Amino acid sequence: MKKQFYQKALITGASAGLGEEYARQLADAGTNLILVARRKDRLEKLALELSQKYGVSVEIFTADLSRDYDLSSLVEKIRQTEDLDLLINNAGFAGKSKFYRDETGEAEQMIKVHVIATVLLTRAALPAMLKRNRGAIINVASVAAFSPFSGAMYSSTKAFLVMLSVNLQNELLGQGIKIQALCPGLTHTEFHQAAGMNKETIPEFLWMRADRVVRISLRALRGTKVIVIPGCRNRIISFLMRHPLTFNLVQWLSRRSKVRKMAAMKQ
């Protein structure tokens, strides 16, 4: 049996992509799980598979994190789960609307799922972790947090997660709690398909596999880094987008129509 990192992990957005991959790798390490998403059938199937294969306990919790009632129920569930020592705020989506043409309330939904859910679930999980001086929280952000061309709402909500994580880690120093902002770049999941994007236009070498991204994230929990950017290319891109000498060049490039078309492929 592999070394068990954590006793119990709650993963939002566990019905697909990175969330499902976190569930697989944590179950393999002996961690009991609570899986959260809207699609109950997917969660049930995954829970059955993982509990049979790895002998861990897997609960499912169906919730739409953009709905107040579902979010409050999940907050209550976390408050009652004393042995929760890993929270992964992973649920997210790219959105289909332009900021100025948002007729479906997508901007508000994105704030609820990416920002409000993360804040409320984190606050619900921390007291028990602090009592035990042990625990970790992963906020799945994106390299889009540093990008001037990944959509006003998507980039800004992901940037919020990065700064929340960095500041929270400093507030919690010396108390045994690890906070991580994971910033993946293009990763093969259902994310782009869900947003109606055509993945074919982006060269394969720019993509990473979800299992690799998750492995890097979980391994990084043993270290001290708060912002974790998986993959060398993503680290270089993020550096260029942030560095004062290249920031203006990136801004200029972001106004070129070819670059904007490519960047409609959010990360």
Ligand X SMILES: NC(=O)c1ccc[n+]([C@@H]2O[C@H](COP(=O)([O-])OP(=O)(O)OC[C@H]3O[C@@H](n4cnc5c(N)ncnc54)[C@H](OP(=O)(O)O)[C@@H]3O)[C@@H](O)[C@H]2O)c1
What is the binding site for ligand X (CB under 6 A)? 12-19, 37-39, 42, 63-66, 90-93, 113, 140, 142, 184, 186-187, 189-191, 194, 267
Nearest to 147 by CA among 130, 161, 133, 159: 159
Residue where the block lists tokens 């006793």 = 7
Cβ atoms within 10 A of the Cβ of 149, count?
20
6 catalytically annotated = no
Q: Active-site residue among 154, 178, 225, 258?
A: 154
100 catalytically annotated = no
User: CB of 101: closest distance to ligand X in angstroms?
Assistant: 21
User: CB of 234: closest distance to ligand X in angstroms?
Assistant: 9
The residue among 65 and 120 lying less far from ligand X, judged by its C-beta, is: 65
Is there a contact between 135 and 86 (Cβ–Cβ < 8 Å)?
Answer: yes
The residue among 65 and 241 lying less far from ligand X, judged by its C-beta, is: 65
The residue among 40 and 131 lying less far from ligand X, judged by its C-beta, is: 40
User: CB of 189: closest distance to ligand X in angstroms?
Assistant: 3
User: CB of 3: closest distance to ligand X in angstroms?
Assistant: 26
The residue among 18 and 136 lying less far from ligand X, judged by its C-beta, is: 18
Q: Active-site residue among 8, 158, 178, 266?
A: 158
Cβ atoms within 10 A of the Cβ of 77, count?
18
Q: Is 200 exposed, middle or buried (0-12, 13-18, 19+ CB in 10 A)?
A: exposed
For the CA atoms of 44, 8, 124, 224, the dihedral, rounded to the nearest 10 degrees, stands at: -120
- State how beta strands 84-89 and 8-12 pair: parallel
Q: Which residues are catalytic?
A: 154, 158
